[in-house]
């Protein structure tokens, strides 16, 4: 491959462009109307407009992407993640156009993209799955039949979209009387989000951990699993912090989980990068959850502890190259890595999106710090796409130092003009449960509910002391220092109160 069309935007498009550069491949970008001046457009060798800002009119248009690939002379297409990355029709369209899809085959995407078909594949490979229904329930299946299946599984349970992901089309049911409404709501959301209203039932495990295994597979029959990633810190089923390795996984459990993941991938003839996701219960038993047939958002932490460039290998595998990595290297982590997903969201306002123009941007650096981003000062964060603006990664020789480095890096991060989740992460990493590794998939939702909306931007006492000192200096230098106000307070004390209030309002720390 000499030219690769990147059918995506933002930080992942920039990440792929960098891999292309290192391999001597020419990167081709596409952009919607609001992305005309985006960083991935500036970095690419060529860039083509594909439509208005709305995703369905631009980044989700298979015909427009194939047309650009042909016009640009690209011989490969990388889908990144999100948008069409797990769409078998897109992969097939790329193949039918005589181009190379940098990812799995359309057949593998179709099989593993259906949660029920994926569960069947896992069972055939001898891998345990969470108890649930074998086949999806079509929209015309009567409520009584679903209720019978639910009773056999037992409560609490989950209603889940067959084609879903990211918590969409999912409902928790603890009372049988709520099942019918939950099914209707899940179907409606799944149909709107994925164009498929089919759902299935699955037992809801109590306080599980979310553990996943990265895989690479080549066209010569080799499948290599990597050391596990811990993805249990989630908000409303969306990952927000990932780390590797997991404190909950022993060497023996790692061997079992990675072997199981490789078995599932081999069973479906999987090629290129993918991830098998497991749930780990409180008794140390793991269950197959699903497979993501693409590169994961959290792939950098795996790269940091193994030294393997996953995106470069995606391209090399698509070229037909054989995997020649020592399997032991992939299962023996070098140090510890943590990733925080920095979103343009207001954590003090129920994490609502905070689109707008980035006025200032100072990215953290220093030993062990990596920032994957598509943002720059002066550019807008649009309302049309996922609000993640960067992925901040910290690596160190051990977990405590990795946490310290991440906290230091978060303190260096400066973004003005929009709200971000940086203060939230500073708070989260200071929690004793995080430091001790005592968390599960519902931990974050539980502690956020307990906070009851209290702000994350807390001003430490030493900052208020500095404010008081500054006020005192101002008072000494002012002729009106000893003048009292209507309440009898001196100008110095009034000024000190104002400085303290300003410190709290601006979140100085």
| Residues with catalytic roles | 294
Query: CA 262 to CA 323: how far, in whole Å?
Result: 14
Query: In the beta sheet, which residues pair with residue 203?
Result: 157
Please list, residue by residue across 324-358, b when 16 or more beta carbons sit within 10 angstroms of its beta carbon and e when fewer do. eeeeeebbebebbbbbbbbbbbbbbeebebbeeeb
Query: CA 214 to CA 246: how far, in whole Å?
Result: 13
Query: CA 132 to CA 201: how far, in whole Å?
Result: 5
Residue 486 vs residues 276, 341, 414, 492, 495: alpha-carbon distances, Å:
68, 49, 40, 14, 14
In a 13 Å sphere around the CA of 223, the CA atoms on its Cβ side amount to 21
Residue 457, classified by CB atoms within 10 Å of its CB into exposed (0-12), middle (13-18) or buried (19+), is middle
Cis amide prior to 421 (ω within 30 degrees): no
Residues 6+ apart with CB under 8 A from 160: 115, 169, 170, 186, 199, 200, 201, 202
Residues 6+ apart with CB under 8 A from 497: none
Query: CA 267 to CA 263: how far, in whole Å?
Result: 6
DSSP 490: B
At what angle are helices 10-23 and 310-318 packed, to 10 degrees?
60
Q: Which two tokens stand for residue 104?
A: 């799995």
Phi, psi of 471 (to 5 degrees): -65, -40
On whether the CB atoms of residues 41 and 31 are closer than 8 A, the answer is: yes
Query: CA 137 to CA 172: how far, in whole Å?
Result: 17
On whether the CB atoms of residues 105 and 264 are closer than 8 A, the answer is: no
Three-class SS string for 311-349? HHHHHHHHCCCCCCCCHHHHHCCCCEEEEEEEECEEHHH
On whether the CB atoms of residues 11 and 376 are closer than 8 A, the answer is: no
Kind and range of the H or E element at 210? strand 209-217
Query: CA 363 to CA 37: how far, in whole Å?
Result: 20
């Amino acid at each position: 491959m000499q030219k690769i069309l990147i059918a995506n935007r933002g930080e992942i498009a920039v990440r792929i462009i960098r891999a292309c550069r290192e391999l001597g491949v020419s990167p081709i970008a596409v952009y919607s109307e609001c992305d005309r001046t985006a960083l991935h457009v500036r970095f690419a060798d060529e860039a083509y407009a594909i439509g208005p800002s709305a995703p369905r009119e631009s980044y989700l248009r298979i015909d427009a992407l194939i047309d650009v690939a042909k016009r640009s002379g690209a011989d490969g297409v990388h889908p990144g993640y999100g948008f069409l990355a797990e769409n078998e029709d897109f992969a097939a369209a790329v193949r039918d156009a005589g181009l190379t899809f940098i990812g799995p085959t359309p057949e593998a995407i179709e099989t593993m993209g259906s949660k029920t078909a994926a569960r069947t594949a896992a069972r055939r490979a001898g891998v345990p799955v969470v108890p649930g229904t074998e086949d999806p329930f079509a929209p015309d299946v009567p409520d009584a039949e679903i209720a019978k299946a639910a009773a056999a599984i037992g409560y609490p349970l989950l209603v889940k979209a067959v084609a879903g992901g990211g918590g969409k089309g999912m409902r928790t049911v603890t009372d049988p009387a709520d099942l019918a409404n939950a099914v209707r709501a899940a179907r409606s959301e799944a149909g709107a989000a994925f164009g498929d209203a089919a759902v299935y039932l699955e037992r809801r495990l109590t306080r599980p951990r979310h553990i996943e295994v990265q895989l690479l597979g080549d066209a010569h029959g080799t499948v290599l699993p990597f050391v596990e990633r811990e993805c249990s810190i989630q908000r409303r089923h969306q990952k927000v912090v990932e780390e590797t390795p997991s404190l909950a996984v022993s060497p023996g459990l790692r061997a079992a989980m990675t072997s199981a993941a490789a078995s599932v991938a081999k069973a479906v003839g999987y090629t290129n990068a993918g991830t098998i996701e497991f749930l780990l219960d409180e008794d140390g038993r793991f269950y197959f959850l699903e497979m993501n047939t693409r590169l994961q958002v959290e792939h950098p932490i795996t790269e940091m502890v193994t030294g393997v460039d996953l995106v470069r290998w995606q391209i090399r595998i698509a070229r037909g190259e054989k995997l020649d990595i020592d399997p032991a290297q992939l299962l023996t982590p070098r140090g510890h890595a943590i990733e925080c997903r920095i979103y343009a969201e207001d954590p003090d306002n129920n994490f609502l999106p905070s689109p707008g123009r980035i006025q200032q941007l100072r990215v953290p650096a220093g030993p062990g710090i990596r920032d994957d981003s598509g943002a720059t000062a002066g550019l807008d964060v649009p309302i049309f796409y996922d609000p993640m603006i960067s992925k901040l990664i910290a690596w160190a020789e051990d977990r405590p130092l990795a946490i310290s480095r991440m906290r230091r890096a978060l303190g260096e991060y400066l973004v003005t003009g929009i709200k971000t989740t940086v203060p939230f992460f500073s708070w989260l990493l200071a929690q004793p449960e995080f430091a001790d590794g005592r968390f599960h998939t519902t931990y974050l939702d539980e502690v956020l509910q307990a906070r009851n909306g209290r702000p994350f931007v807390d001003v430490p006492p030493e900052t208020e002391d500095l404010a008081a000192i500054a006020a005192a200096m101002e008072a000494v230098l002012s002729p009106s220092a000893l003048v009292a106000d209507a309440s009898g307070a001196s100008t110095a004390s009034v000024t000190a109160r104002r400085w303290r209030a300003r410190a709290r309002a601006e979140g100085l720390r």
